[in-house]
């Protein structure tokens, strides 16, 4: 389960920071300081994605037991 959660969090991080950053520069040129305030929100999205996957996996295992 931990491997699944970490894989989700890492892929979400890669998508948001490495792929999303350059893509945003192409779509919305002229960034700057305003975008730097969004980094903690992006990190929260990464953590939330791991939490969602973990909870979903746990609930699915509970349903499978019954």
Give, rounded to a whole angstrom, the gap between the first and last alpha carbons of the chain.
19
- The string of pLDDT tens digits covering residues 8-63 is 989 988 888 888 877 777 777 776 666 667 778 888 888 999 999 999 999 999 99
How large is the angle between the packed helices 39-65 and 2-13, nearest 10 degrees? 150
Count of domains for the chain: 1
In which domain, by residue range, is 18 found?
2-65
pTM for this prediction: 0.69
Length of the chain: 66
- Six-digit token pair at 8? 């989700």
């Amino acid at each position: 389960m931990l491997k699944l959660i970490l894989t989700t969090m890492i892929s979400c991080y890669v998508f948001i920071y490495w792929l999303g950053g350059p893509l945003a520069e192409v779509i919305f040129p002229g960034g700057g300081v305003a975008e730097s305030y969004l980094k903690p929100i992006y990190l929260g999205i990464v953590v939330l994605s791991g939490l969602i996957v973990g909870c979903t996996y746990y609930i699915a295992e509970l349903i499978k037991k019954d």
